[in-house]
Chains A and B, each alone.
Chain A
Amino acid sequence: DGGITQSPKYLFRKEGQNVTLSCEQNLNHDAMYWYRQDPGQGLRLIYYSQIVNDFQKGDIAEGYSVSREKKESFPLTVTSAQKNPTAFYLCASNRDVTKNIQYFGAGTRLSVL
């Protein structure tokens, strides 16, 4: 089955620690996205990538980093510089950034210990 796989489902971060959230898709989509979802707020874009080896900052990129070395993979690192990382993180993809529907992964819930 084609889809987007995020792992882990739950993640805990200690103070000063970097953590990496995985996102893999087998839909052959060019564009991939990372969103953060907080209670009562809409999804906010962290980073997006239109093509391999290229990515752009979204609205709230500070404290996060990404890479896009393969078409299928778009991992997100939450660095120690992100002082309020507790949130639900969603990865999405679509065929290219000008096309319509975004498909989402099941999400990773990150909490701080």
Chain B
Amino acid sequence: GQNIDQPTEMTATEGAIVQINCTYQTSGFNGLFWYQQHAGEAPTFLSYNVLDGLEEKGRFSSFLSRSKGYSYLLLKELQMKDSASYLCAVRALRNYGQNFVFGPGTRLSVLP
């Protein structure tokens, strides 16, 4: 079956670095995405990996290892506004065609 795992909750301090891990088991992998979602709002796109390695975008970086079915999102210089849920999603082959599988999300709390 298709499965994505993430930690449920994490806490970090303002100014620190935090790493949110995501492991997946899917068929027909075709890209991994990270989204940020503030409570009651729409998810917004953060990053995309389809090949192994690190993608950097400002304070956010995302890493992918396809052989290990593993990704992480790295947030640097944490700010209070980074308190949100972070969703890991994989585009994979479903029984109704290629589509997205979402993990349960990791709720990050940034403390002063």
Chain A contact residues, CB within 8 Å of chain B: 4, 33, 35, 40-45, 48, 56-59, 88, 90, 97-98, 100-107, 109
Contacts and interface: CB of A to CB of B under 8 A. Distances in A.
Interface range for B: 20 to 34
A26 B41 CA distance: 19
Given A42-B4, A101-B33, A90 B102 contact: no
A108 to B, nearest CB: 11
A89 B101 CA distance: 16
Contact of A56 (B31, B33, B97): B97
Interface of B: 4, 8, 31, 33, 35, 40-45, 48, 87, 89, 91, 94, 96-105
B45 A103 contact: yes
A98 B87 CA distance: 20
A42 B104 contact: yes
Given A42-B87, A57-B96, A58-B96, A105 B42 contact: yes
Contacts of B102: 35, 42-44
B41 A107 contact: yes
A22 to B, nearest CB: 15
Nearest to A57: B96
Contacts of B96: 56-58
A40 B31 contact: no
B42 A104 contact: yes
A43 B102 CA distance: 6
Nearest to A3: B42
Contact of B42 (A44, A48, A59, A107): A107
A40 B85 CA distance: 11
B42 A97 contact: no
Nearest to B88: A42
Contact of A102 (B94, B100, B105): B100
Nearest to A100: B48
Contact of B98 (A59, A88, A98, A101): A98
A59 B101 CA distance: 10
B48 A97 contact: no
B106 to A, nearest CB: 11
